[in-house]
């Protein structure tokens, strides 16, 4: 067999191989694949039940564009992260663990307002605070007292609001604050806040402002207290309950020391 015939034969074999490869690729892309879909409309933060899920078959190529949930076991203990509709594919971006749900997605915010307070790293619980957390507010003020006939200044503190939702935190350079305490435990950067369009990508921004969801009356009280004294933020655990408090006061005594007690003070 001369060289020309060999060349033609090789070209024919190459064409056949390419055609075969293309056929196999097309077949793999159109091969039916089972995926999960929602079969009804679900509001954000709704726990996912087996009755909310259906299984359908789609071409394999569809599953290349997104990360699909294909096993119902992956949905145990999960809620929808945003409102979903019937026949929506169930993808990883639409489901989250129950403990990570955004409380504001399911809250009726018609009676709420947003108010911002200055905060620093220490007041902000060492940075271990994020959107959706609940906090208490403590007022720290001063009153003039008379001790042994001499004027003295009493310092007192009192919890005046409890269980207040955190809307957002920002840095001194205007970016959303990233909760780095959780990022160190493996939380994806930006996951700690719902709106990640303005997350600070550097490490220079310092925690500067906390924004809370309050009623109009609560906003009035907070503004007045900010003018009269100082407001501090107290963090809560997930299972913390509201508690009544007597407040705390420190009064200078006649020998130059101080008397501290927890007798009732006006909050």
Q: pLDDT (tens digit, 9 = 90+) per residue, 116-169?
A: 999 988 888 888 889 999 999 999 998 887 766 777 788 899 999 999 999 999
Name which of 141, 130, 103, 120 is nearest 225 in CA terms.
141
| Positive or negative: CA dihedral 235, 237, 238, 242 | negative
What are the percentages of helix, strand and coil residues in the chain, rounded to 5? 25, 35, 40
Identify the weakest region by mean pLDDT among 38-47, 192-201, 220-229.
192-201
Confidence tier at 18 by pLDDT (50, 70, 90): low
> Cα separation of 216 and 5, whole Å?
90
What confidence category does residue 198 fall into, taking pLDDT thresholds of 50, 70 and 90?
very low
Write out the residue limits of the CATH 3.90.1210.10 domain(s) in the chain. Answer: 31-100
d(CA 232, CA 136): 8
Helix (H) or strand (E) holding 57: strand 53-59
CATH 3.90.1210.10 fits 31-100, yes or no: yes
DSSP letter (8 states) at residue 26: H
Bridge-based pairing of strands 230-235 and 134-147 is: antiparallel
At 180, the pLDDT band (50, 70, 90 cuts) reads low
3-state SS assignment for residue 54: strand
pLDDT tens readout for residues 238-264: 889 998 888 888 877 666 556 666 455
What are the tens digits of pLDDT across the range 78-91?
999 989 999 999 99
Best CA proximity match to 46, nearest among 87, 89, 85, 91: 85
Structure pTM? 0.68
């Amino acid at each position: 067999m001369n060289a020309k015939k060999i060349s033609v034969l090789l070209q024919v074999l190459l064409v056949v191989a390419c055609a075969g490869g293309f056929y196999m690729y097309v077949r793999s892309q159109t091969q039916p694949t089972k995926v999960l879909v929602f079969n009804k409309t679900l509001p954000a933060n709704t726990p996912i039940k087996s009755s909310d899920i259906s299984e359908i078959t789609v071409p394999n190529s569809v599953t290349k564009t997104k990360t699909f949930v294909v096993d119902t076991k992956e949905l145990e203990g999960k809620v929808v992260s945003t409102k979903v509709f019937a026949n929506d594919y169930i993808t990883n971006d639409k489901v989250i663990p129950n403990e990570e749900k955004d409380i504001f997605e399911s809250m009726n915010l018609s009676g709420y307002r947003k108010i911002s307070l200055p905060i620093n790293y220490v007041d902000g619980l060492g940075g271990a605070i994020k959107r959706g957390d609940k906090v208490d507010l403590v007022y720290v003020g001063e009153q003039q007292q008379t001790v042994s006939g001499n004027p003295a200044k009493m310092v007192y503190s009192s919890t005046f609001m409890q269980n207040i939702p955190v809307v957002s935190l920002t840095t001194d350079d205007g970016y959303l604050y990233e909760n780095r305490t959780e990022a160190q435990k493996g939380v994806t950067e930006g996951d700690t806040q719902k709106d990640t369009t303005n997350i600070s990508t550097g490490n220079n921004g310092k925690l500067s402002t906390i924004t809370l969801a309050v009623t109009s009356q609560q906003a009035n009280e907070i503004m007045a207290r900010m003018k009269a004294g100082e407001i501090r933020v107290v963090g809560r655990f997930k299972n913390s309950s509201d508690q009544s408090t007597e407040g705390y006061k420190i009064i200078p005594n006649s020998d130059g020391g101080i008397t501290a007690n927890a007798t009732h003070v006006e909050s």
